[in-house]
Amino acid sequence: MSKFFKYFLAVVLGSLVSAFFFLVGIFMFIGILASSGSKEISVKDNTILVLELNTPINERAVEDPLSELMSGLSGQQNPIGLNQILASIKKAKNDDRIKGIYLESGLMTAGYATIEEIRNALLDFRESGKFVYSYAPIYTQRSYYLASAGDKIFLNPTGMLEFKGLSSVHTFFKGTLEKLGVEMQVFKHGEFKSAVEPFLLESMSDAARLQAQTYINSMWNHMLVKMSESRGVSAESLNQTANLMPMFREDSVLLASGLIDGFKYKDEIIDMLKELTGTAQKDDLNAINLKKYAQVYVPGKKKGLEKNKIAVIYAEGEIVDGSTGSGGIQADKLSRTIREARRDSSIKAIVLRINSPGGSGLGSEIIWREVKLAKETKPFVVSMSDLAASGGYYIACAADSIVAHPNTLTGSIGVFGMIPNTKGLLKKIGVTTDRVTTNTFSDMPALDRPFTADEKVLMQAYIERFYDVFLVRCADGRKTTKNEIGKVGEGRVWSGENALEIKLVDKLGGIDDAIAIAARMANLETYRIEELPEMLSPIEQLIKDLSGEASARIGTMLFGEEYKILKTVNDLKTGYPVQARIPFDISVN
pLDDT at 28 over 70: no
The answer to whether residues 257 and 398 belong to one domain is: no
The answer to whether residues 492 and 399 belong to one domain is: yes
Question: Within a domain: residue 221?
Answer: no
The answer to whether residues 263 and 400 belong to one domain is: no
Rg (CA), the chain: 26
The answer to whether residues 314 and 289 belong to one domain is: no
- Would you say 153 and 172 are in contact if contact means Cβ atoms under 8 Å apart? no
As for how many domains the chain has, the answer is 2
The answer to whether residues 314 and 288 belong to one domain is: no
Q: Which residue has the higher pLDDT, 59 or 555?
A: 59
The answer to whether residues 141 and 80 belong to one domain is: yes
List the single range of 182-186, 187-191, 258-262, 433-437 with lowest mean pLDDT: 187-191
Q: What was the pLDDT predicted at 210?
A: 93
List the single range of 89-103, 186-200, 214-228 with lowest mean pLDDT: 186-200
Indicate the SS3 state at residue 408. coil
Region 239-268 average pLDDT? 96
pLDDT tens figures, 229-238 = 999 999 999 9
Amino acid type, 563: Y
Percentage of the chain lying above the pLDDT 90 cut: 70
- Would you say 312 and 515 are in contact if contact means Cβ atoms under 8 Å apart? yes
Closest by Cα among 440, 351, 355 to 392? 355
Q: What was the pLDDT predicted at 558?
A: 47
pLDDT at 37 over 50: no
| C-alpha to C-alpha distance for 575 and 571, rounded to whole angstroms | 5
Phi-psi region for residue 77, left (φ > 0), alpha (ψ -120 to 50) or beta? beta
Q: What is the mean pLDDT of the chain?
A: 86
pLDDT tens figures, 128-181 = 999 999 999 999 999 999 999 999 999 999 999 999 999 998 889 999 999 999
Closest by Cα among 231, 93, 223 to 153? 231
The answer to whether residues 261 and 386 belong to one domain is: no
Region 367-393 average pLDDT? 97
Give the domain CATH number at 499. Answer: 3.90.226.10
Q: Which residue has the higher pLDDT, 585 or 114?
A: 114
Phi-psi region for residue 523, left (φ > 0), alpha (ψ -120 to 50) or beta? left
Question: Within a domain: residue 298?
Answer: no
pLDDT band at 332 (very low <50, low <70, confident <90, very high): very high
The answer to whether residues 323 and 374 belong to one domain is: yes
The answer to whether residues 501 and 560 belong to one domain is: yes
Closest by Cα among 404, 351, 341, 401 to 373? 341
- Would you say 104 and 133 are in contact if contact means Cβ atoms under 8 Å apart? no
DSSP symbol at 294? T
Query: What's this model's pTM, rounded to 2 decimal places?
Result: 0.86
Question: Within 13 Å and on the Cβ side, how many CA atoms surround 183?
Answer: 12
Question: Within a domain: residue 139?
Answer: yes
- Kindly report the length of the chain: 589
| C-alpha to C-alpha distance for 234 and 239, rounded to whole angstroms | 9
Question: Within a domain: residue 239?
Answer: no
CA distances 30 to 24, 26, 37, 168, 537, Å, are 10, 6, 10, 45, 16
Question: Within a domain: residue 216?
Answer: no
Question: Within a domain: residue 235?
Answer: no
Q: Determine the longest span between alpha carbons in the chain, in angstroms.
A: 87
pLDDT at 473 over 70: yes
Backbone angles phi, psi at 319, to 5 degrees: -85, 125
pLDDT tens figures, 101-116 = 999 988 898 999 999 9
List the single range of 373-387, 397-411, 418-432, 518-532 with lowest mean pLDDT: 418-432
The answer to whether residues 287 and 329 belong to one domain is: no
Q: What was the pLDDT predicted at 538?
A: 58
Question: Within a domain: residue 195?
Answer: no
- End-to-end, the C-alpha distance of the chain in Å comes to 57
Question: Within a domain: residue 209?
Answer: no
List the single range of 66-70, 104-108, 393-397 with lowest mean pLDDT: 66-70
The answer to whether residues 422 and 552 belong to one domain is: yes
pLDDT band at 188 (very low <50, low <70, confident <90, very high): confident
Phi-psi region for residue 304, left (φ > 0), alpha (ψ -120 to 50) or beta? left
| C-alpha to C-alpha distance for 396 and 415, rounded to whole angstroms | 16
Q: What was the pLDDT predicted at 33?
A: 45
Q: Which domain holds residue 380?
A: 309-431+444-581
The answer to whether residues 452 and 528 belong to one domain is: yes
